[in-house]
Structure 1
Amino acid sequence: MNRQDLIQRFAGKLIVSCQALSGEALHGSDVMAKMAVAAARGGAAGIRANSPVDIAAIREQVDLPIIGLWKCDYPDSEVYITPKYNDVEAVVKAGADIVAMDATLRERPDGEKLEDIVRKVKANYSCLLMADISTLEEGLEAYRLGFDIISTTLSGYTDYSPAIAGPDMELVQELSKQVPIPVFAEGRINTPEQATAMLQMGAYAVVVGGAITRPQSITERFVDTIHESRRAASE
């Protein structure tokens, strides 16, 4: 499949993020593969997955495009979504069609430069690159550097981006107006109505994770809402 055909498979559709970190009840590549199968049967257009082992397990079970990443902690940087070139290579070799990278303007581990990583990936691999950004400025810079897709994944998760309760619709709208490449909406999209609104704001596709594949977070939202309702009723 060529690059344009791959991107067009996502147009106006839902991508499901199947991730569970160490310490979470559903952590494990076998569980994530089953999550991906369920998402595929439900009509997802693609899967977003974390770590080479999870990507490889999902690739064996699901015939959908995979957006791969690797969350890695380095002591000298806050960047943790596929931070280094070697991390990108591992994700590609595991079977990802698209590699998602933190494309914020923060310093990367070991002094690596984002523009150098992008250049090396483009020279050595045919995968697409997705820029996970938190601000309009970062999205514009990611386009300049040659990313194929921009995603609003990190809006609200850097200390300089707006901390809002729901999805960052304004960022999606502005980016979709200012860059000619696809903008994916991701982050705090909790309902089908919000997903639809993001597409209406100009998003090329929508990525949803916690509202579908993280039952602990879903349970917490229900519990918090119930508690808040009880508190309000007692006042």
Structure 2
Amino acid sequence: MCQAEVVQYSNSNEKVRAFFKGAAASIPLTVAVLPWGLLTGSLAIEAGFDPLQSQGLSAIIFAGAVQLAIMGMIQAGVGFGSILISVLLITSRHFLYSMVMRNNISPLPLRWRLALGFLLTDELFAIANPGQLKRFDRWYALGGGLCFYFGWNLATLGGIIAGESIENLDALGLDFAIAATFIALVIPTVRNASVLVCVLTAMVASVICEVMHIQAGLLISAPLAMLAGFAYTRATGKGEH
């Protein structure tokens, strides 16, 4: 596992500066995800949730893909057990994020582990993972995580308000923000051939699944991509350690 040196501070001013530095690093990703948040809030209203329930999804669950899946499954009358299994599968990538960051976060006090664990998203991992930073900074990570959290919830609130007053908000193409956000997260991580193999495999597999109308495209393409990257690394011996 990657382990970055943990930053130590001598005074509170340094902590505040690190916090706002993390928030600033998160702002571009927060802005990019605003259309997705607007869409999520409006779709929650269309799905029959009241404004408080709609906002609660973002405040408590804090996972756009999961929120969209839950709304669709509830509308379809899917059982609670099936919803839980689907949520577990959709968010399984966060277990990988947790494994990468475990060595840096596990020594922290419980309040820090709980806070950073809750705030750990694709976006936070992109700016604060040990492979990205030479030194792990909990205040930097906290600032980035909270910035994204409040941005997501404000966007959801905007979508809730718009969903009650503007019909067919989903027809504006806001869902493109979902793809755009993940493209922006993935491209900077392509630093060696094994990662490129993973990305290309996932892209091809997901397109094939979409063309063939296979609903489990994500569950198929993700493991295939990881296996392809692992196989390339073993075959060439050029992986990162």
Larger of the two Rg values belongs to structure = 2
* Structure ranking higher in strand proportion: 1
Does 1 or 2 have the higher relative contact order (CA < 8 Å, sep 6+)?
2
The normalised TM-score by structure 2 is: 0.24
The normalised TM-score by structure 1 is: 0.25
* Structure ranking higher in helix proportion: 2
